[in-house]
Amino acid sequence: MLYLIGLGLAYPEDITVRGLRAVQKCERVYLEHYTSILMNSSMEELEEFYGKKITLADREMVESGCEEIMENADKVDVCFLVVGDVFGATTHTDLVLRCKQQNIPVEVIHNASVMNAAGACGLQLYNFGQTISMVFFTDSWRPDSWYDKIMENRKIGLHTLVLLDIKVKEQSIENMARGRLIYEPPRYMSIAQCCEQLLEIEETRQEKAYTPNTPCVAISRLGSNKQAFKAGTIEQLSKYDSGEPLHTLVILGRQTHELELDYILEFVDDKENFKKMVIEDQEFFKPAPWVPEEEHMSE
Ligand SMILES: C[S@@+](CC[C@H](N)C(=O)[O-])C[C@H]1O[C@@H](n2cnc3c(N)ncnc32)[C@H](O)[C@@H]1O
C-alpha cells in the first residue's frame, strides 16, 4: 500500500492517530520537501517521533517519475508525507494517478491545510474564490496570469487566497549551466515582497483588479506557536515585516460581511482608516443598480 499522509501545519503531533499508525507500520517513509515546511519540527525530531528513518523527497524525485517512491509498494507498505493536507498542493494527484496505472493500492489520510486553516483570520471560507500562487519575479520572468483570477474573484465579491513561493534546492543559473549540483539556500517569499509584486503588476496593467488601497490580511506561521495576523492595505503591507516563514495573503472581496470585518479589525493598526478603505474598495466593483425596463414601468 502507498499511504499518502497529511501532517498538518506545524507540530510533529499534528499528524492524526490513523496517520501515525500507518507511518509506524511502513517499510519506507518519504517526506515531501518542496511545497511546504513543518514549522515547529526538524526532520530529526520527526524521525524520533515516528521511530522511523525518513527520506526527503524533492521536486525532482516526485515529479520526474516517482519510481523510487512507488517501488514494490504493491507488496510492502510505503508512505509519502505531505505538510498540510495531501491535496493542498496541486502536484500530488499525479502520484495517485501513477499508482492507479500500476495497480498500486493507495490510501489517503487527510489533515488540516493552509487552505482551510486560513479561516482563522476571520474571513469565511465560503466567501473565497480561486486561490492563486505568487512566484518570485526574476529580471526576465515576471508572470502575471494570476491577475485575471483576482479580477474574476473580485468582480463576484470573493476573497482571494494568495499562496507565496518557496524555493528549496534551487540551483543558480550559473551552477545549472556548469552542471554543478550546488544548491542555493532555501527562500520563502515575505508578505512585503508579495505586495510589492502585486503593486507592480497593477501599475503595469492598470485594469484595477485592485488598488494600492485594497484591504488584505497577512497570515503568518499559521497553526504554530508564532502564528500572526496583520490587516492593512496592499500599500501598507508592502512595508510590513512579516518575520519568519511561512506566509499567506488574503485579498478581501467586495462583499466582506460585517462579522468578518469585526474579526479582522483586531489585526489592524488604524481601525477607522481601515474601515474607510474597506468601504471605498467595496464601492469599486458594485454592480450598477438594477433599473426596470421601460415597458414594465408603464404597465
Ligand atoms: C503549496 S501550498 C500548501 C501546502 C500544504 N500541502 C497545505 O495543504 O497546507 C504552500 C504555501 O502555502 C502557504 N502556507 C502553507 N502553510 C502555511 C502556514 N502554516 N502559514 C502560512 N502560510 C502557509 C505558504 O504560502 C506556502 O508557500
Residue found under cell 523510487: 68
Residues 125 and 55 in one domain: no
Residues 23 and 129 in one domain: no
**Any ligand 1 atom below 6 A from CB of 154:** no
**Any ligand 1 atom below 6 A from CB of 216:** no
Number of domains observed in the structure of the chain: 2
**Residue 222 in marked binding region:** yes
**Any ligand 1 atom below 6 A from CB of 248:** yes
Domain's final residue, options 52, 81, 112: 112
Whether 226 contacts 128, CB under 8 Å: no
Residues 147 and 267 in one domain: yes
Q: Which of 117, 129, 237 is nearest to 189 (CA)?
A: 237
- Backbone torsions φ then ψ of 29, nearest 5 degrees: -125, 120
Residues 133 and 277 in one domain: yes
Residues 92 and 134 in one domain: no
Residue nearest to ligand 1 atom 7, measured at CA: 84
Span from the CA of 113 to the centroid of ligand 1 (angstroms): 7
Residue found under cell 549551466: 177
Span from the CA of 234 to the centroid of ligand 1 (angstroms): 20
Does 299 reside within a domain? no
Residues 11 and 79 in one domain: yes
Per-residue confidence band for 298, with pLDDT thresholds at 50, 70 and 90: low
Distance CA 202, CA 286 (A): 20
**Any ligand 1 atom below 6 A from CB of 159:** no
Distance CA 285, CA 256 (A): 12
Residues 130 and 267 in one domain: yes
Is this model's pTM higher than 0.75 or not?
A: yes
Residues 38 and 173 in one domain: no
Distance CA 210, CA 237 (A): 14
Distance CA 132, CA 274 (A): 24
Residues 122 and 71 in one domain: no
**Residue 9 in marked binding region:** yes
* Average pLDDT along the chain: 92
Q: For 232-277, write each residue's pLDDT tens digit.
A: 999 999 999 999 999 999 999 988 999 999 999 999 999 999 999 9
**pLDDT higher than threshold 90 for residue 111:** yes
Q: What is the CATH number of the domain that holds 108?
A: 3.40.1010.10
Q: Which domain holds residue 6?
A: 2-112
Q: Which atom of ligand 1 is nearest to the CA of 223?
A: 19
Residues 140 and 242 in one domain: yes
